[in-house]
Amino acid sequence: MARIDHKAARKKSQPEHLPFTRINYQILLVGLIVIAIGYYALSQEPWDGTMPLVVAPILLVLGYCVIVPIGILYRKKQEAEVAEPAAEPPHTE
């Protein structure tokens, strides 16, 4: 019975390029800016005003739960298809 080298098979399946592109970093930067604005709004006086009680939580949830995950998970459709090539039958002559 032939032995299969699983380490070599796993090594080939990993992508050789970096997973983040310039667009990913831009989306993450926007998320960090929204989070910073949210914390700034949270620090405003008076403590029972509209900014700290309404606007700040909305900005913080939007930044942490929407924009940052989109920045991490975003991938162009064209890159997604290239990353998972279709299995081609072996060429025999």
Q: What is the pLDDT of residues 49-59, one digit of tens each?
A: 999 999 999 99
What confidence tens digit (pLDDT) does each residue in 16-45 have? 677 889 999 999 999 999 999 999 999 999
Question: What's the predicted TM-score (pTM) here?
Answer: 0.66
- Find the largest Cα–Cα distance for the chain: 80
Q: Is residue 85 part of a domain?
A: no
CA atoms within 13 A on the CB side of 34: 20
Residue 6 lies in a domain: no
**Residues 54, 56, 62, CA angle at the centre, nearest 5°?**
105
Distance CA 40, CA 2 (A): 63
Q: Is residue 11 part of a domain?
A: no
Q: Is residue 28 part of a domain?
A: yes
User: Does residue 9 lie within any of the structural domains?
Assistant: no
Domain for residue 93, yes or no?
no
Q: Which structural domain, as residue segments, surrounds residue 54?
A: 19-79
- In the block, tokens 């990993």 appear at 14
Mean per-residue pLDDT over the chain, rounded: 83
In a domain, residue 7? The reply is: no
Q: Is residue 42 part of a domain?
A: yes
Domain count, the chain: 1
